[in-house]
A = this chain, B = another copy of it.
Amino acid sequence: MTRKQLIMDSALQLFAEKGIEATSVQQITDHCGISKGAFYLSFKSKDELIYSIIEHFMNNIIREVDRAVKEGSTPSEKLHIYFVHTFKVMSQYTGFAEILMKEKVSAINETLIERIQYYVDLAKKSLEKLLFEVFGDQIEGKQYDLVLVVNGMVQAYLQNFFESCKPFDVIKLADSLVEKTTLLATKSEIVFLQDSSQLYSRIKNYSIEHIVEELDYLQQQTNDRLELESIQLLKEELMMEMPRPAIIVGLISNLEKNENFNWITIYLKDRFN
C-alpha cells in the first residue's frame, strides 16, 4: 500500500468516528505511524486529502452501482439490482458512507461541498435514466418528482441503517423499494417538480472554460503520454465552435483508467452522449 493510500485509509476511519473538522492532521499521522511532515509530502493540505477521499469513493460508488445495473437482463431486474447494490456498496464503504450521512454539507470547504453535490446530481441522472428504462414514457413529466422521492426513500433507509447498525436484509428492502417505486411511477398523478433545473442544482453550471481549467490542472497530475495527449486534444476540441461528440467520447475513454479523471469523464460522457 502506498503512503497516500495508507493516509487515506487512516483518515477515513478517523473522519467517520469523530467527524472531519474534529480530526487533526496530527491524529491522522499518529494513527498511521508517520510524521506530520510525511503527510505533507503526499498531500498539499488537509483539504486536498478530503478532496481525494471524496473523489475516490464517489467515483467508486457511482461506478460500481452502474456496472451492477448494466448486468441486469430485464429493466425491472435492473431496478432491483440498483437498490440492492446501492445498499451493498454503501455498506462496503461504511466509513465513507458514514461521513456522507453525518457530515452532509456544512463546515467543510465550499468547493468540496460543490463536488459532493455534483456527484449526487450525477447519481440522480443515472437513476432518471434507469427509471425511464423501467417505466417508459408513462413517467414523462413526472420523472423529476420520482427521482427526488425515490432518492429520498433510499436516503431514509440508509440513514436508518447507519443509525441502527444492525444487519440488513438487502433483498427484502430492495423488493419493498421496487414495489413502492412502481406504485409511485404508475399510479401517481399530481406532480410537483416540473423542471429539470429544479432537481439538478449544479450539474448544468459548468462552463467550457471551467472544464478546460480543470483539464489544465489534471494535466499536471499525470505523466502518462497517452493521457497527456488526450487531455491536450480534448481541450482543443472543446474550445472549437462545434465540438464533435464522437471525438470527445473517444478521447475520454483514454482517461477512464486513471481514477483522478473520473468525475470529468462521467460529466463529459453525460454531456456529449
Residues of A within 8 A of B (CB): 19-22, 101-107, 145, 148-149, 151-157, 160, 163-164, 166, 169, 172-173, 175-176, 179-180, 183-184, 187-193, 198-199, 201
Given that A179-B189, A180-B188 are known contacts, is A105 also in contact with B106, CB under 8 Å in the complex?
Answer: no
**B179–A190 touching, CB < 8 Å:** yes
Instruction: For A144, give the chain B residue with the smallest CB separation.
Output: B160
A97 to chain B, nearest CB (A): 13
Taking a contact as CB atoms under 8 Å apart, the answer to whether A107 and B105 are in contact is no
CB pair A148–B157 under 8 Å, yes or no, is: yes
B149 engages A180 (CB within 8 Å): yes
Task: Tell whether, in the assembled complex, residue B184 and residue A172 are in contact, meaning their CB atoms are under 8 Å apart.
Answer: no
Q: Distance in Å from the Cβ of A80 to the closest Cβ of chain B?
A: 12
Residues from chain B with a CB closer than 8 A to the CB of A166 are: 198
Chain B min CB distance to A199 (Å):
7
Q: How far is the CB of A90 from chain B (nearest CB, A)?
A: 15
Are A149 and B156 in touch, CB under 8 angstroms?
yes
Complex A-B, nearest 7 residue pairs according to Cβ-Cβ distance, in ascending order: A152-B156, A104-B104, A19-B107, A176-B190, A152-B152, A176-B192, A102-B105
Smallest CB-CB separation from A145: which chain B residue? B176
Contacts A102-B105, A155-B156 given; does A187 touch B187 at CB 8 Å: yes
